[in-house]
Amino acid sequence: MKRTRTIIAAAAAVATAGFAHAATGLEVTAQRLTNAQGESQNWLLPYGSYSAHNHSSLSQINRSNVSNLAVKFLHSIGGMNTANATANPPTLQSTPVVDDGMMYVHNGWGQVFKIDVRAGNRAQTVWIHDPKLAAGQTMRGSVALLGNYLYHNTGSGVPRLIKVDTNTGEMVWEVSIAAPADKSAGSAPSVQPLAVRDKLLIANRGTRGSIAANAASDGRELWRFWTVPGPGEVGHETWAGDWAAWKTGGAPVWMQASYDPETNLAYYGTAEAKPWGDPEFRPGDNLFSDSVVALDVDTGKMKWFFQVVPNDTHDRDNVNPRMLYDVTIGGQQRKVVAQFTRGGFYYTWDRANGAFINAEPYTTVTWTRGIDPKTGKPLEYNPAALVQNYGPGKSVMAGKPETSQNVCPNWIGSPTLMPPTFDARRQMAFSAAATGCFNTAQPQAAARTDVAEGANRNFPGVVLTSLGRQQGRIVSVDVRTGKQVAESLHPWPLYSGALGTAGDLIFTAQADGKVMAIDKDTLKELWSFHVGTPIAAPPITYEANGKQYVAIAVGAALYRPDDFNTQELLILQRNSQLVVFGL
């Protein structure tokens, strides 16, 4: 394997005593990651813990003093000033991780920064690792810390898994993580790896999605699970027809996994079947699209799955992070996995075996009449039918625009990637995302080409338009019942998701650059600050020298503004940097 030197920040050449300390931090062991939620001063994992609660026990910043919150420092992380940024801009959706006052974050060009944030009023770059990408990329989540190393993926060009020494910034090795060409064309990571024990879990998007585990020691692939099963694999029969639609079946994975150390299961959500606007091209339930899959981390074998929307006709990507918690339901203590699904329902399953518990609407839903309380499937679902027709009259069919009018929620985010937060004391889950509905417009040509080879026909065969400007929406759910408790609406979509704290606050951000602190009980805004550039990344919180801070990466490319009907925001310029707030 190739060994090279990485770029070291110019600032490292003027090392101070503080930098010497920074180079010899404590090792991030597998045990520390398992107990990450107990290290309230740090943020070691993408959602704060393997359970994906996106919650911190820090309470120094709280309802009584959040009005005094102010910017403590800004720190540029670059990655936006490029020749093709206008035509194909990288979207900054990075979540920083923090260990003992050292922050690690990647930008839209795959560069990874180690930043000393201990001073509280300024930051100092320690080193920069540059994978030298030829084009920008949108890579979600957090880089992975394990041992004295950092691991990160690249998603453009030839996808690579890279191991970096956190003390020196030098690359230890890099390996190709491209999916086998004979199995799937065009698959590459869309999220950073998740470190679990001695492995890196890597989720792939592309024409046929997959999830792989690579050894942390040398990067070799240990197993790969295909989210669209091939011939002879369980579920392959759900891709009917003789034109091999499974080869381009999609079911990509957008987000990092949740993980239960007790069962050794990793929980992933999969996205839509492709072409999503043309279910007649891919008759059958289309496993394992729009599903939760529970995989054994040692073997990659699927322990259980649950498909939320068979033969998806509405782009109902089931990718929102899955929260693991214990809860009393009907007088019985249950260990569950729960999720805000893109179809507008809050689902709860038994996390050991995937048994369906309940699903309740948390937003306006018109694409289905509801969820069957026994099966967990949409009421219109017919297991004997090869093509589903959810509705009434709401299914999207290529060349048939009249079948999908006033469909709610919108396909574009209610939520998609926006992480939720779970408050164990309140027994409440919160989602901050977008809200709205859509119609179809005039059909485009639906060319059926190369179907014998499984090639996709033109996407999606219909034109979808949002009904009015899409807004932001925060909602709370009582996890004991799954029912909505409260909601608040906001002018712009909330693509940052929700960070909860023990200070009775939720931190989120609007697409227009407004960072907000929300009261958990009333869902009213208590504080805000405009950074003047779009935001699509989740905030985190950490502690340095006894003081709590809130950090967020800003400067995103606006995600499909035409879909949101938020064209007014196009004039906003992007400025890629970290913004850190404190008292």
Number of domains in the chain: 1
- pLDDT at residue 473 greater than cutoff 90: yes
Instruction: Give CA separation, 285 vs 13, 201, 347, 382, 566, in Å.
Output: 58, 27, 19, 10, 34
Q: What is the mean pLDDT of residues 305-317?
A: 92
Spatial distance between the Cα atoms of 449 and 456, rounded to a whole number of angstroms: 8
Q: What is the mean pLDDT of residues 321-345?
A: 96
Assess if residue 5 is contained within a domain: no
Model confidence pLDDT, tens digit, residues 219-252: 999 999 999 999 999 999 999 988 888 988 989 9
Phi, psi of 32 (to 5 degrees): -60, -40
Model confidence pLDDT, tens digit, residues 152-171: 999 877 889 999 999 999 99
Q: What is the mean pLDDT of residues 534-560?
A: 89
pLDDT at res. 144? 98
The CATH code of the domain that includes 395 is 2.140.10.10
pLDDT, mean over the chain: 87
Assess if residue 535 is contained within a domain: yes
- pLDDT at residue 334 greater than cutoff 70: yes
Assess if residue 445 is contained within a domain: yes
- Lowest average pLDDT, out of 311-320, 492-501, 539-548, goes to 311-320
Q: Binning pLDDT at 50, 70 and 90, where does residue 106 land?
A: very high
Q: What is the mean pLDDT of residues 185-198?
A: 84
Q: What is the mean pLDDT of residues 49-71?
A: 98
Model confidence pLDDT, tens digit, residues 350-403: 999 999 999 999 999 999 999 999 999 999 999 999 999 898 777 777 766 666
pLDDT at res. 2? 38
Assess if residue 317 is contained within a domain: yes
Q: Binning pLDDT at 50, 70 and 90, where does residue 82 land?
A: very low
CA 309 to chain centre: 19
- Residue range(s) defining the domain that contains residue 69: 10-582
Q: Binning pLDDT at 50, 70 and 90, where does residue 3 land?
A: very low
Spatial distance between the Cα atoms of 476 and 526, rounded to a whole number of angstroms: 17
pLDDT at res. 85? 43
Assess if residue 274 is contained within a domain: yes
Assess if residue 2 is contained within a domain: no
- pLDDT at residue 421 greater than cutoff 90: yes
Assess if residue 287 is contained within a domain: yes
Q: Who's near 471: CB < 8 A, 6+ residues apart?
A: 434, 435, 436, 489, 490, 491, 492, 493
Say which residue, 457 or 197, is predicted with more confidence: 197
pLDDT at res. 170? 96
Cis peptide leading into 529, omega within 30 of 0? no
CB atoms within 10 A of CB 121: 8
In 270-322 the beta strands, taken as DSSP E runs, fall at: 291-296, 302-307
- Lowest average pLDDT, out of 54-63, 197-206, 424-433, 494-503, goes to 197-206
pLDDT at res. 329? 93
